[in-house]
Structure 1
């Protein structure tokens, strides 16, 4: 795998924060904000996926009884 040579836009913005000391409470708030943002984004993407594929309760039931593991092949 090739290493990334350029920082992403998110990494660049977060690096700007490193120039400032924040309290432990502020750090916890920042972490919570980031977690909330990504959780909301995942929810949005999942809702879109379900809508695009017209999935419903029957899909959940099929997943409950399905066997999706594949054997290990070195």
Structure 2
């Protein structure tokens, strides 16, 4: 089996966790990461909606399909 190189994010997280944070700190970090990626995803969705001219009516129709 071929070993895989760690990416920059993985290396940064390993460095972060090397100081053995408290459980509450781990939870806060997980929440920060989740919020960051959620915000990024929402921005990308909004950009796609704006670029394609999708309306609220379009979204409502898709939900009803």
TM-score (norm 1): 0.74
RMSD: 1.7
Distance 2:27 2:38 in 1: 16
Instruction: Summarize deviations over 1:12-64 as a string: whole Å, max 9, x none.
Output: 11111121111111111111110110111011101101001000023113312
Aligned length: 64
Q: Which has the larger radius of gyration?
A: 1
Gaps of 5+ in 2: none
TM-score (norm 2): 0.83
Gaps of 5+ in 1: 67-74
Match of 1:17 in 2: 16
- Specify the SS of the correspondent of 1:6: coil
